[in-house]
Amino acid sequence: MTGEDAALVDRFCDMLAAEAGAARNTLLAYRSDLAKAREALGSPLGEASDEQLKHLGEAWSDLAPSTVARRAAALRRFYAFLFEEGIRSDDPSAVLPKPKQQRPLPRILDPHEVERMLEAAEERAASDRPLALRNLALIELLYGSGLRASELVTLPKTALRRGEPFLILAGKGGKERLVPVSERAHEAVRRWIEVHPGGRWLFPGGKVHLSRVRLFQLVREMAADAGIAPDRVSPHVLRHAFATHLLSGGADLRALQALLGHSDIATTQIYTHVDASRLVELVNARHPLARSRD
């Protein structure tokens, strides 16, 4: 992207960084989506008319609905910025495509399956072999605190302090949040620290910290050790298990939102599906008509 469009996008990204606290990866994603929109239009973004924007739906017809929705969202925010700054006298974004998306429910792990994974990891850690102790600490933090994979692998060695039941970390967009740490996780990390090879990171790997790809592989290996199909398990599935099992145990949706670090509660609701039998039980126990028949 060159010329006037490049200058406008620079100003737009400066605003996102300064006012919305957008992270570097978020800004790169916006730049990429706006550049692809400029390519599809074949003319300057800043000057695009309603009629030109209407044709983007056709140009993006081969893309996944989620991709179209993301690019359209980037354009809407861009044109809202141009309008608010007085760079344009109108906001043409109303004509942008609005594909219907159906977000799939995350894969489910039963509490007993997670317990099997934890037990298998504990059995291996009984040998006091360093890698087995590391793996136990990884799974205890993943399931016990609901950390994202990127948050877990980038924890500094000093993240958990003795006697403190939580840690403070920077999640998406650099937003800080408190994350609870169970006594089990504390103990697993303590055992791992005793044989830790040293360095800045709690989970070192290569020249820096453990990679997300390697974490993914380790989690699948632990699933296989517990007799669970590896393709059913990932770090995100364990984060989802943390959320759904807490909800089933009576956790409040707003509290869950804070624990997961979601800025929008609508995102949290994806994690809140429960089995049909529990819903039926809830209706039978709490609905006024059900009680009136007693």
pLDDT per residue as tens digits for the range 100-122: 755 555 567 888 999 999 999 99
Confidence of residue 277 (pLDDT cuts 50, 70, 90): very low
Residues forming a β-bridge with 179? 167
Domain boundary residue, one of 41, 62, 95: 95
Torsion over CA: 120, 124, 125, 131 (sign):
negative
Dihedral (Cα; 216, 21, 63, 96), 10-degree rounding: 160
Q: What is the pLDDT of residue 97?
A: 86
Q: Of 148, 196, 209, 220, which residue is the catalytic one?
A: 148
How much is the average pLDDT of 195-202? 89
Q: Of 76, 124, 157, 172, which residue is the catalytic one?
A: 172
The mean of the pLDDT values for the chain is 82
CB atoms within 10 A of CB 230: 15
Question: Taking 80 as the threshold, does the pLDDT of residue 3 lie above it?
Answer: no
Confidence of residue 150 (pLDDT cuts 50, 70, 90): confident
In a shared domain, residues 72 and 207: no
Identity of residue 25:
N
pLDDT tens-digit readout, 203-256: 998 788 999 999 999 999 999 999 999 988 999 888 888 877 777 766 666 666
Q: What is the pLDDT of residue 289?
A: 61
In a shared domain, residues 68 and 125: no
Domain boundary residue, one of 95, 119, 136: 95
**Domains identified in the chain, total number:** 2
Pair type for strands 176-180 and 166-170: antiparallel
Question: Taking 70 as the threshold, does the pLDDT of residue 2 lie above it?
Answer: no
Question: Taking 80 as the threshold, does the pLDDT of residue 257 lie above it?
Answer: no
Question: Taking 50 as the threshold, does the pLDDT of residue 175 lie above it?
Answer: yes
In a shared domain, residues 161 and 24: no
Clarify whether 161 is annotated catalytic: no
Can you read off the two tokens belonging to residue 9? 């996008």
Between 135 and 16, name the one with better pLDDT.
135
Question: Taking 80 as the threshold, does the pLDDT of residue 283 lie above it?
Answer: no
Q: What is the pLDDT of residue 273?
A: 54
Cβ pair 184, 122 in contact under 8 A: no
Between 124-138, 161-175, 268-282, the lowest mean confidence (pLDDT) is in 268-282
In a shared domain, residues 126 and 239: yes
Clarify whether 148 is annotated catalytic: yes
* Structural domain of 57: 3-95
CATH of the domain at 14: 1.10.150.130
Instruction: Assess if residue 256 is contained within a domain.
Output: yes
Clarify whether 239 is annotated catalytic: yes
Instruction: Assess if residue 289 is contained within a domain.
Output: no
CATH of the domain at 115: 1.10.443.10
Clarify whether 273 is annotated catalytic: no
In a shared domain, residues 61 and 115: no
In a shared domain, residues 132 and 222: yes
Q: Of 31, 177, 212, 236, which residue is the catalytic one?
A: 236
Identity of residue 18:
A
177: helix, coil or strand? Answer: strand
Instruction: Assess if residue 151 is contained within a domain.
Output: yes
Instruction: Assess if residue 102 is contained within a domain.
Output: no
Identity of residue 131:
L
